[in-house]
Amino acid sequence: MFITKKALARRTFLRGAGAAVALPFLDAMVPALAGAAKPAPIRAAWFYIPNGVDMRNWVIEQDGPLGQLPRILAPLEPIKNEVMMLSNLTANWGRPLLVGAGDHGRALSAYMTGSFVSRSVTDLKLGVSADQIIANAIGNKTKLPSLEIGLEETRQAGNCDNGYSCAYAYNISWKTETQPLPPVSDPRSLFERLFGTDIVEAPADRARRLSMRRSILDTVMGSAQDLQSNLGTVDRRKLDEYLTSVRQVETQVQKAESEGMIIDPGMEKPFGVPPDFGGYFELMTDMMLLAFQTDMTRVATVMVGREGSNRPYPELGIPDSHHPITHHKKNPVLLEKISAINTYHVSLFSKFIQKMKATKEGDSNLLDNSMICYGAGLSDGDTHLHDELPTLLVGRGGGNFLKPGRQITFQRETPVTNLFATMAQRMGVRAEHVGDSTGTLKEVSLS
């Protein structure tokens, strides 16, 4: 019994190098979608970039068709006809207003909620984020109502940002005003969320196990209800969070039962976090792509970094922490580093959307049926500006709803949540408001 060294080499590769996944061809595995008469579902996703960008290398003067792209956006050149640049959007609640410092904590948490960020000592309180407004409405159509991905696996100890709870700096998605959804940052953990932990079970065994799981979830819901009757307000809310979460998992189990089929992910279970950021980004977004492709979910957020991220980028020759560099004080050396990091992120994103485009879906492709927002809650990270936000909208939102390949500059102070409200509406969600939104952006679908 002498196993070849090849086995080790392969494993080391998967574990160490992060295994850029060769995307399998899943047409055969998704009978529900392939060739079906009904239109493909529309997906919405957000990529959040921390610490603002070097706007000098982002801004385009002219509205209309995209010409020569500025430096940071240059990696999008091959796919620029799918990209819409939306300028002048604002995230007002990220601003200090009467509250003072804590711009980073607020920039992230106010971005998708369009809400005031409470610094109260006793309560976490925010708003429901755009992705969750959608997931709460249509999430029951898919196995997972939404997917939250993070690309920063470690945390700082101590206080987060000037007295704001760390919950605000680390979570972009909020299911309710008080319930943040932690992003999954471990590749194996994400894999198991999507494809389960028991791929090898025989169908009958699997069905039996799923039914036991459902029964256990049912039982503990009963216990929680019993406990709840005697509690104070906050304690009751905690149990409520527990109950709704258990209920959602129960629904997931039910769906898995009714599908009765196991999706073969066509990739090996990953182990550990790839040491290079590019590999990590690719591995995690590949899995997200798989989740979209197999219609496991239609809503996703990706935190490329937490707001205030201190990740260094040695692969770019930048051993310094990201956040302090962004306090650049117009120093050209620092601005250069910021541009390099921004460009790197866009190049990874560009690869991802090119894969989306290459993924066939009926007569169309996955990108055509998606709306992917790429942006930040800060424009200039030095002075913490929360307006003129760098914002891209990629894809066509199904049925050529979006008309990409150009720039639209909006009136100053247009809430970025107006964009999210537009996306929610396209997803079939009739939300009155997304946080502080004042309407929708009709321009995105007018050519």
Partner 1 sequence: MKFHLLLLAGAGVALAQTPASPTFESAVKPVLTKSCGTCHNSADLAGDLNLSQYPANTLVDSAKDLWTLVASKVRTGSMPPPDAPASARPSADEIKSFVSYLTSEIDRLDRAAKPNPGRTVARRLNRVEYRNAVRDILGVHYQTEVEFPSDDSSFGFDNVGEALTVSPVLIEKYMYAAERIARIAVGGDPLPKPALVEERRRAKRLTVGSTQAVDSVDYGAEYVLRTWVAGDLGPMGKPVMLEVSVDGKVVKTVEIPTAQTETTRVAATTQRINEEVRVYLPAGQHTFFARLVGEQFDRPIPRPTGRGGGAGGGFGARPAPSIFPETFDLHGPFAPTTMVPANPLISCDVATGAACVEKIITPLARRAFRRQPEPKEVATLVGIANRARTAGYSPLQSLQFAIQGMLVSPQFLFRIEKDPAPGEVAQISENELAQRLSFFLWSSVPDEQLLKLAEDKKLRAPGELDRQVKRMISDPRAESFAKNFTGQWLEIRTLDAVKPDVTKFPTWNADLKEDMETETRMFFEAVLKENKPITDFIDGKYTYLNDRLATHYGIEGVTGTNFRKVDLTTDQRGGVLSHASVLTVTSYPARTSAVLRGKFILDNVLGTPPPPPPANVPALDEDAVGKTGSLRQQMEKHRSAAICASCHSRMDPLGFGLENYNPIGQWRTKDGEFPLEIGGTLPNGKQFDTPAKLRTLLRNDDLKDFTRNLSEKMLTYSVGRGVDGSDRPFIKEIVDKMEQSEYRFQTLIESIVHSLPFQARRGDTTAATVAKAGE
Q: Is 232 in the site for partner 1 (CB under 8 A)?
A: yes
Residues 84-103 that bind partner 1 (CB under 8 A): 96, 100-103
Q: Is 1 in the site for partner 1 (CB under 8 A)?
A: yes
For residues 230-245, one letter each, b for 16 or more C-beta atoms within 10 angstroms of the residue's C-beta and e for the rest, the string is eeeeeeebebbeeeee
Stretch that binds partner 1, among 280-288, 378-386, 390-398, 422-430 (CB under 8 A): 378-386
Residue 303 beta carbon to partner 1: minimum distance, rounded to whole angstroms: 12
Q: Is 178 in the site for partner 1 (CB under 8 A)?
A: yes
Residue 5 beta carbon to partner 1: minimum distance, rounded to whole angstroms: 7
Q: Is 262 in the site for partner 1 (CB under 8 A)?
A: no
Element (H, E) at 325: helix 322-326
Stretch that binds partner 1, among 173-181, 255-263, 292-300, 346-354 (CB under 8 A): 173-181
Supply φ then ψ for residue 13, to 5 degrees. Answer: -65, -50
User: How distant, in Å, are the alpha carbons of 28, 41, 203, 264 from that of 261?
Assistant: 13, 20, 8, 9
Q: Is 157 in the site for partner 1 (CB under 8 A)?
A: yes
Q: Is 154 in the site for partner 1 (CB under 8 A)?
A: yes
Q: Which listed residue (56, 213, 255, 403) binds partner 1 by CB under 8 A?
A: 213
Q: Is 233 in the site for partner 1 (CB under 8 A)?
A: yes
Stretch that binds partner 1, among 66-74, 282-290, 360-368, 380-388 (CB under 8 A): 380-388
Q: Which listed residue (140, 197, 400, 438) binds partner 1 by CB under 8 A?
A: 197
Which residues are within 8 A (CB) of 50 and not within 5 positions of it... i.e. 6 or more apart? Answer: 104, 108, 303, 304, 305, 306, 307, 308, 309, 322, 323, 376
Residues 263-302 that bind partner 1 (CB under 8 A): 269, 271-272
Give the x-and-dash track for 320-359 against partner 1 (CB under 8 A): xx--xx-xxx-x-xx-------------------------
Cα(107)–Cα(110) distance, rounded to whole angstroms? Answer: 6
Q: What share of the chain is helix, strand, coil (3-state, %, to 5)?
A: 40, 15, 45
Residues 46-75 that bind partner 1 (CB under 8 A): none
Residue 119 beta carbon to partner 1: minimum distance, rounded to whole angstroms: 10
- Identify the CA nearest to 400 among candidates 445, 355, 338, 347: 445
Residue 72 beta carbon to partner 1: minimum distance, rounded to whole angstroms: 20
Give the HSE-up count for residue 422: Cα atoms under 13 Å, Cβ half-sphere.
23
Give the x-and-dash track for 237-256 against partner 1 (CB under 8 A): -xx-xx--xx-xx--x----
Residue 243 beta carbon to partner 1: minimum distance, rounded to whole angstroms: 9
Which CB atom, from 71 or from 213, has the smaller least distance to partner 1? Answer: 213
Stretch that binds partner 1, among 4-12, 340-348, 349-357, 424-432 (CB under 8 A): 4-12
Which residues are within 8 A (CB) of 316 and not within 5 positions of it... i.e. 6 or more apart? Answer: 337, 340, 341, 344
Element (H, E) at 323: helix 322-326
- Identify the CA nearest to 273 among candidates 6, 8, 73, 16: 16
Which CB atom, from 252 or from 365, has the smaller least distance to partner 1? Answer: 252
Q: Is 16 in the site for partner 1 (CB under 8 A)?
A: no
Neighbouring C-beta atoms of residue 362, cutoff 10 Å: 16
Burial grade of 8 (CB within 10 A; 0-12, 13-18, 19 or more):
exposed
Q: Coil, strand, or helix at residue 63?
A: coil
Residue 333 beta carbon to partner 1: minimum distance, rounded to whole angstroms: 5
Asked if residues 164 and 119 have their Cβ atoms less than 8 Å apart, the reply is yes
Number of residues that bind partner 1 (CB under 8 A): 98
Q: Is 227 in the site for partner 1 (CB under 8 A)?
A: yes
Q: Is 413 in the site for partner 1 (CB under 8 A)?
A: no
Cα(151)–Cα(288) distance, rounded to whole angstroms? Answer: 13
Q: Is 382 in the site for partner 1 (CB under 8 A)?
A: yes
